[in-house]
Structure 1
Amino acid sequence: MKLSLRLSTIAAYIPSGSKVADIGTDHAYLPVYLVKQGICPGVIAADIHNAPFQSALRTVESFCLGDKISVRLGDGLKVLRPGEVETIVIAGMGGNTMEQIFSRAPEVIKDVRRLVLQPMTDTEKIREWLWANGWILLDEDLVAEDGKLYEFLVAEPGREQPKDSLIGPRLIEKRHPLLTKLLEQKEKQLAGILAGVSKSTDSSTRAQIGELQEQLEKIEKVKKWLTAEQSAN
C-alpha cells in the first residue's frame, strides 16, 4: 500500500515493534501499512463515526488483516484499555478536539510512551497542553501536499520548559525548509482576523487586538532571523 506523503510522514515516527492506536482512522490505511511493512505487530484502528468505521473494516478485511488490526467504533481514547498501546496517532483533527480527547481519558494517556499528532488547527494549543501535562516535544515536522501545509508534533513523557507556542520550537531549531511558508500562512490568517476585529467598536476586543499584534510581531521577528540565517549560509 502506498501512503500519501502526510500519512507516510506519520508512519516514519512510529517506533518499530510499538503497539499503536490510530484514533480517527478513517479508511485504516495507516494501520494496514504499519502491519504490512512489519513496523507494528498489531494496531487498533478507531473512529467515532460509523461511516469511516465501516470503511476501515472493509479495508482491513480486503487485506485479510482482521487478526492483527482491531477496528473499533467509539469516542477517542475511550475505545482503549489502560496500557493497551504504547503509541497513539491522532491526525486530521483540530487542536481543541485533540485536547478534549486527551482530557476525557486520563487513565489511558498516562501509560502512553509516544504521541504522533497532526492537528489541522490550533497547533499552539496542543503544544501548551503537552508542556502543561508532562510531555516534551521530541520533534516537529512540516509537509506540503495537495496545496496544503501540515504540521506534525511528536511527543514523549518528560518535563520541558514551555516555550512560545505559536511557532514550533523544533521547527525553528532545525530551520525547517518549509518554516517560512508556515510563517507566511500564519501571518495571513492572523492579519485577516485582526482586520475583522479592528472594525469592532466593542471595548472587550482591545485585548484581542493587542494579542494578535503581538503574535504578528513574533512572526516577523522569526522571519527576519530566518532571512539572516539564510544569508549567512
Structure 2
Amino acid sequence: MKMISQRLARVASFVPQGARLLDVGSDHAYLPIYLVGQGKIQFAVAGEVVAGPFESAQKNVQEEGLTQQIEVRLANGLAALEEEDQLDTLVIAGMGGRLISDILRQGRDRLSGLNRLILQPNNGQDELRSCLEALGFEIVAEDILEEAGKFYEIIVAEPGQTRLNQKQVRFGPCLLLEKSPVFQKRWTLELTKLKGALAKIPSQHQSERSALSQKIGEIEEVLHVSK
C-alpha cells in the first residue's frame, strides 16, 4: 500500500467508518487506496477532470487490485457522483478555497445525499466557510497542521443551518475555540508579515493602511497580543 502524506492522513481521519466516498481531484487515488487498505471504507469514486491524473489513478487502483472497491471516473467536480452509487461522504483536498467553493456551488443539486464534506483548501478558507453557510452546511470540526513548511486547514461540514460571524469566517469557528500551537504559529507568522507590509505603505495611503491595520488588530485580538 502506498504511503500518504501527513496532510492526507489527517484528512482520512475525518472519514467515517464504512463510508461510501467521493474523492474529487483524487491526486492519483492515493486517499481512496489508503482508506480501503485501512478497512475504513466500503467503496469510493475517485474523480479526476484531467486525463493525465485520471490515467495515473486508474493505474494505481489496478496495481493495488482494488478495481471492485474504487471506481475512477473522468468527470468535472460533482459530476462524478451518480445517484445509484449511494455515496455519503465527499472529500476535496489540495485545491484553493475559491475553486472548492465553485465546485460545491456548481454541483449543489448533487449535495443532498451527502452526510459529510471533508475539505482541505490550500487558501481562501474564509470564502469556503461562507460558501458552506450559504449552501446549508454547518462546520462540525476543523484541524490545522504544518507539513514541509506549509500550513493546511481541514474543514468538516454536515447538513445544518449556522450563522458565522466575521471572526469565525476568517479564523474558523472550531480552530478559534482550540487555538492549538500550530494555529498560533500560523497566525503569529501572518501577523509579522502584515506588520512588515504596513511599514512599507506610505502614510498618505490612509485607506490602504487602515484596512491592513484592521486585519492586524483582528489577529492580535485572537492571539491576545498586547499592542
TM-score, L = length of structure 1: 0.87
Provide the rounded CA distance (Å) in 1 between the counterparts of 2:53 and 2:199: 38
Following superposition, the deviation at residue 81 of structure 1 comes to: 2.0
CA contact (8 A) 2:119 2:156 kept: yes
Instruction: Give the whole-Å Cα distance in 2 for the aligned partners of 1:161 and 1:27.
Output: 36
Deviations 1:122-176 (A, max 9, x none): 1011111112221111111011111111111011111122122111121121231
Pairing partner for 1:173 from 157, 173, 177: 177
Aligned pairs, number: 222
Q: Secondary structure at the match of 1:136?
A: strand
Question: The residue matched to 1:19 in structure 2 has which SS?
Answer: strand
Match for residue 103 of structure 2? 101
Which amino acid in structure 2 is aligned with residue 11 of structure 1? A
Task: State yes or no: 1:221 paired with 2:225.
Answer: no
Q: CA RMSD in A?
A: 2.3
Paired residue secondary structure (2:158): strand
| Structure 2: distance between partners of 1:29 and 1:189 | 34
Runs of 4+ in 1 over 4 A off after TM superposition: 188-196
Displacement after TM superposition at 1:93 (Å) = 0.4
Identity %: 35
CA distance in 1, matches of 2:50, 2:197: 32
Amino acid at match of 2:157: A
Q: Does the 8 Å CA contact 1:138/1:156 hold for their aligned counterparts?
A: yes
For residues 109 and 134 of structure 1, the distance between their equivalents in structure 2, rounded to whole angstroms, comes to 10
Q: What SS does the aligned partner of 2:170 have?
A: coil
Task: Determine the structure 1 residue equivalent to 2:187.
Answer: 183
Q: 1:185 to 1:45 in 2, by over 3 A?
A: farther
Q: What does residue 27 of structure 2 align with? A: 26
Distance 1:120 1:192 in 2: 23
Q: Secondary structure at the match of 1:61?
A: helix
Partner residue of 2:120? 118
Cα offset, 1:217, TM superposition: 0.8
